[in-house]
Each structure stands twice: as structure tokens, then as C-alpha cells.
């Protein structure tokens, strides 16, 4: 990670500056913000090879802070995997809350995914590369395990929603559901849509209403 002059290394002077941040009450927030913006940049660029300077600029911190919290690319990838796993568990819990109507559970899950993909453009490209890379790093391993689990849970929910054991029909509905969430076409090709596209809450709501209606057919 990084370009010339931006490798993750420590110097006494830089450490003193970074430690003033790390020792504050906001240190966890700073680290989370750096990690969040790193994921954003990697998704935007479709690669994990982003520079420390770019990360620092995006996160609104200095390079010393990035170097302090993430001493190596491997460390950052490991923390990305942990962050993803935590978020994944929270999102998948939306599907298992039996106190919520089945259709609403699925819609809430879909809304969360659509919102995430709108906030982190290009993240699917990064995820695909991480999943197919050999050998898999910590992030790739976490992604693969998470995707397998998600498919199983979604299949079970869809089967109950459509009330059918027809595996061919179920497989089609599952593929339709996932691919539709992953790739709604850009609004710039549709003059009726706003410039913000599916980042706009009203657009997301209408999109999900139509998707849920179609799934039940």
C-alpha cells in the first residue's frame, strides 16, 4: 500500500504527533474513520493498492496518524476483515428477527445493502477481486465465508416468502434478487431519475417496493 514516500513506517517525530491523537478519547473514532475511508477508496479504485497519502487526505488526518494505527498493509487488511465481519453479522441479523414480518425483514436487509453499495461505489469490484485472488488474504477468507453464509440464509428466507420448494424457481429468484441489488443501472441513463440515483431515499424506497412485489409473483 502506498507510493514513493508514503510507505507505512514509523519515525520518532511522527510517532509523537500520532500518539497525541492515539491517546485522546477520540482515538477509536479516528481509527474507525481511517478504516472506513480506506474501504471507500479501495472500493472506488477497485484495488487494495491505495496510497497512505490518499487515505490520510480522505480521512482528514495526517500521514503520521495512518502509519501509527496501521503499521502495515497486512494489519490494515486484517482489521478490514474484522470490521466487515462485525457489520456482516449485524446485517444478517435483520433476516432472523422473527418478531418482524418476513417480507419486512427481507426488505430491511435489501435496503441496508442498497445503502451500503451507494455509499461505497465500486466496492463490489474490490470484493470480486478479493474473492478470486490466490492465495486469499484475511479479507478474502472472511468475504468467502460470509458470502456462503449469506446465500444460505437468503435462500431459506426466499423459500418461505414465495412458498415453493421448486429449486429451479428458487435459484432464479435468488439470482434475480442478488444481481438486482448489486447492479441497478446508473440514473444518468434514465432522464426520469434524479442525479443522485439510488443514493436518494425516495429512489431506494420505490426500487425496493418494485423488487419485493416482483419476488412474490
Whether residue 132 sits in one domain with residue 188: yes
pLDDT in tens, 132-157: 878 777 778 888 888 889 999 999 99
Dihedral over alpha carbons 15, 18, 22, 26 (to 10 degrees): 180
Percentages of the chain per state (helix, strand, coil), in multiples of 5: 75, 0, 25
pLDDT in tens, 15-53: 333 433 344 446 668 888 998 888 888 888 877 788 899
Q: Per mean pLDDT, which range of 36-45, 102-111, 139-148, 185-194 is the poorest?
A: 185-194
Dihedral over alpha carbons 61, 67, 72, 76 (to 10 degrees): -30
Whether residue 78 sits in one domain with residue 63: no
Question: How much is the pLDDT for 107?
Answer: 92
Which of residues 32, 50, 71 is at a domain's end? 71
Mean pLDDT across 108-134 = 81
User: Is residue 135 in a domain?
Assistant: yes
Structurally, the chain folds into a number of domains equal to 2
pLDDT in tens, 56-94: 999 999 999 998 888 887 888 788 888 888 888 999 999
Examine residue 181 and say whether the peptide bond preceding it is cis (omega within 30 degrees of 0). no
Mean pLDDT across 198-212 = 79
Q: Per mean pLDDT, which range of 42-46, 168-172, 185-189, 201-205 is the poorest?
A: 185-189
Indicate the pTM of the whole model. 0.70
Which of residues 51, 71, 91 is at a domain's end? 71
User: Is residue 3 in a domain?
Assistant: no
Question: How much is the pLDDT for 11?
Answer: 38
Whether residue 59 sits in one domain with residue 79: no
In this structure, the chain runs to a length of 217
Dihedral over alpha carbons 33, 38, 39, 44 (to 10 degrees): 130
Whether residue 39 sits in one domain with residue 84: no
Amino acid at each position: 500500500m502506498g507510493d514513493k514516500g508514503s510507505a507505512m513506517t514509523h519515525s520518532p517525530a511522527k510517532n509523537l504527533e500520532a500518539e497525541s491523537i492515539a491517546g485522546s478519547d477520540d482515538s477509536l473514532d479516528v481509527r474507525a474513520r481511517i478504516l472506513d475511508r480506506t474501504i471507500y477508496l479501495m472500493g472506488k479504485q477497485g484495488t487494495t493498492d491505495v496510497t497512505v497519502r490518499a487515505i490520510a487526505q480522505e480521512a482528514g488526518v495526517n500521514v503520521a496518524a495512518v502509519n501509527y494505527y496501521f503499521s502495515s498493509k497486512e494489519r490494515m487488511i486484517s482489521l478490514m476483515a474484522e470490521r466487515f465481519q462485525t457489520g456482516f453479522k449485524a446485517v444478517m441479523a435483520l433476516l432472523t428477527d422473527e418478531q418482524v414480518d418476513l417480507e419486512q425483514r427481507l426488505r430491511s436487509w435489501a435496503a441496508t445493502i442498497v445503502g451500503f453499495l451507494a455509499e461505497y461505489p465500486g466496492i463490489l469490484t474490490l470484493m470480486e477481486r478479493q474473492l478470486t485472488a490466490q492465495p486469499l488474504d484475511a479479507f478474502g477468507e472472511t468475504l468467502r465465508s460470509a458470502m456462503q453464509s449469506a446465500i444460505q440464509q437468503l435462500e431459506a428466507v426466499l423459500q418461505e416468502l414465495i412458498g415453493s420448494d421448486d429449486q429451479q424457481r428458487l435459484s432464479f429468484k435468488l439470482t434475480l434478487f442478488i444481481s438486482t441489488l448489486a447492479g441497478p443501472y446508473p440514473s444518468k441513463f434514465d432522464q426520469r431519475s434524479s442525479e443522485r440515483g439510488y443514493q436518494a431515499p425516495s429512489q431506494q424506497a420505490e426500487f425496493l417496493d418494485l423488487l419485493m412485489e416482483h419476488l412474490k409473483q
